[in-house]
Structure 1
Amino acid sequence: MIIKRLAVFVAALFLFACSDEPSITADSQEAASDAKAVLAQASASDGKALYIACQACHGPKGQGNRALNAPSLVNQSPWYLKRQMLAFMEGRRGAHPEDTFGQQMAAIAKTLPDQAAVDALVAYIDSLSGHTPERTVKGDTKKGEDYYTMVCGSCHGPKAEGNELLDSPALAGVDDWYLVRQFELFRKGIRGADDKYGRQMVMMAPALPTDEDVTNVVSYIQSLAEK
C-alpha cells in the first residue's frame, strides 16, 4: 500500500513541477508523508532507492528536464549537491515566497529522513554519467569571457570548474537556463538571504548589472562545457 502511495507521490511531484502556481493539497501531504515512510525504511546506503523521489523531475540519469524546471544534477560537485540538499531540508533555501521552484525542492528534500540519506543520494548521483547540456542561451562569448575573467574566475576557477576551498560550485556543465535563473534570484535577493554562502553571490550580483551581461557570461560558461 505504501509503495502504491509512493507512486502517487512521484506522479504528484510531476504535476507539481509543471504548475506555475503549485499548491499543497491534503492528498499530496498524505502522499508525501507516506513517501517519507518508504524512504525511512530504505537503507541509508541505498542511494538508488532514495533517488526515486528525484527522477520524476530530474530524470533517471540526473539529466534534468527544462520543461519541468528541473536542472541537471550531474556535472556538479558532490559537496555542493550535499550542501544544497541540506539547505533545502533545513529551510535555508526555498523559503522565500517568490522562490516558487525552490519551495518545490524544499518540500521534496524534507521527505529524506536524515543526513545519511543525503550522503547516499549524493553518492548515487555522483555515480551517474555526466553529459554536455544543450545550449539554450545565446550571447557574446567574447564579452562573456572578459566579464567572467574579471568577476567570476577568481572564485569559480578559470574553467568554471569550481573551488570547494572558496565555497564556489562548478558552473561549466550546469544548464545555462538554470544559471540565468539563479543569477536573477541572487540579484533580486530571492535566493541567498538566509544562506551565508548564498549571500556571497548576492553581494557579487551587481557586478553583472544587465541581463545582457548575464547572458554573455553564461554563454561563455556554456562554451567551456562544450570544449
Structure 2
Amino acid sequence: MKKLIAGVVLGVSLAATAYGAGDPEAGEANAATCAGCHGENGAAPVMAVYPKLSGLGEKYLYQQLELIKAGDRAIPEMTGLLDDMSEQDLQDLAAYFDAQEMTIAKADPELVEAGRALYRGGNLASGIAACAACHNPSGKGNDPAGYPRLSGQTAEYVEKQLIAYRRGERDAGGQSQVMMDLAAKLTDAEIKAVSSYISGLH
C-alpha cells in the first residue's frame, strides 16, 4: 500500500513538473518584448485581432510558443522573436503570462443567446460538439490537457482563429485536427455569435 501511495505521489509530482515547469519571475524579463503587440501583461493587445495571453494556461502557451519558434505555426509578426530563446525561456514566458489576470469584455447582446447555445450545447444537427466540453463551461480551459482558456479573449481574435481552422490554415499542434473538423461545420453566423459570447464569458 505504501508503494502504491508513493507511486501516486511521484506521478502527481512529475505531472506538476511537466505542466508547471516555468518560472513566472524569470519569464517577466522576456515579456517586455511581447508588450508591443499583446499589451502590458499580455492582457491588452494593441489590435483586437491579436490575442490576449494572460491566463490562457501554461501548457497551452508553451506548446504554442514552441510551434511558433519551430515555424510550424506561422505568425509573420513573430518571425525571429523567439529564435534566441531556450526551451526554459519559453516555459518561463508561458508561466509568466499564465499568471496574469485575464480581462473580460462585453459580448454583443444581440448575439448572446445564439453564442451561448452553441458554446454550451453545440449543434446536434450539424455535428458540432459543445465548446464547453473541452474549454470548461465558464471558459477557463483545461491546462493539464493543453486546452486554453477562452473566457475574455477578444471576439475578433477568436473569429480569426476559427476561420483559420475552417480553412485548414491553422493545422499545427495536438488538438488542431479536432478544431479543424469542428470549424469546418461552423457557419459564418455561428462563428460570429460564439466568438462574441466567448469575449464576455466568465
When normalised by structure 2's length, the TM-score is 0.74
- Shift in Å at residue 218 of structure 1? 1.7
The 10-residue stretch of structure 1 (65-74 or 216-225) with the greater mean CA deviation from structure 2: 65-74
2:168 paired with 1:189: yes
Query: Mind listing any 5+ residue stretches in structure 1 that lack a counterpart?
Result: 1-43, 95-101
Q: Which has the higher contact order (CA 8 A, sep 6+)?
A: 2
Secondary structure of 1:196's partner? coil
Equivalent position to 1:62, from 30, 42, 48: 42
| Structure 1 CA distance for aligned equivalents of residues 147 and 199 of structure 2 | 17
Q: Which residue of 1 aligns with 2:17?
A: none
Equivalent AA in structure 2 for residue 181 of structure 1: K
Segments of 4+ moved more than 6 angstroms: none
Determine the structure 2 residue equivalent to 1:199. 177
Identity %: 26
How far apart are residue 70 of structure 1 and its match? 2.8
Q: CA deviation at 1:165?
A: 5.1
- 1:78 — aligned with what? 58
Give distance in 1, aligned partners of 2:197 and 2:70. Answer: 33
Matched to 2:174, the amino acid is: K
| Counterpart residue number, 2:21 | none
Look up the match of 1:171: 150
Cα distance change, pair 159–81 in 1 and its aligned pair in 2 (3 A): same
User: Over residues 66-91 of structure 1, what are the superposed CA-to-partner deviations in whole Å (9 max), with x where a residue is unaligned?
Assistant: 43843211131111111110111122
Q: Write out aligned runs for 1:132-151 (5 A).
A: 132=104, 134-135=105-106, 139-148=110-119, 149-150=121-122, 151=129
Judging changes above 3 Å, is the alpha-carbon distance between structure 1 residues 158 and 129 closer, same or farther for their aligned structure 2 residues?
closer
Distance 1:68 1:222, change over 3 A: closer
Structure 2 SS opposite 1:92: coil
Query: 1:39-90: per-residue Cα shift (whole Å, max 9, x none)?
Result: xxxxx96222211221122122212324384321113111111111011112
Task: Calculate the TM-score normalised by the size of structure 1.
Answer: 0.67
Q: CA RMSD in A?
A: 2.5
Q: Which has the higher helix share?
A: 1
Per the alignment, do residues 69 and 219 of structure 1 end up closer, same or farther by CA in structure 2, a change over 3 Å counting? closer
Aligned residue pairs total 172
User: 1:47-58 to 2 correspondence within 5 Å?
Assistant: 47-58=27-38
Contact 1:157 1:163 in 2 (8 A): yes
2:90 aligns with one of 76, 99, 118: 118
- Structure 2 unpaired stretches of 5+: 1-23, 123-128
**Helix, strand or coil at the partner of 1:170:** coil
Q: Which residue of 1 aligns with 2:6?
A: none
CA 86–186 in structure 1, closer or farther in 2 if over 3 Å, else same? same
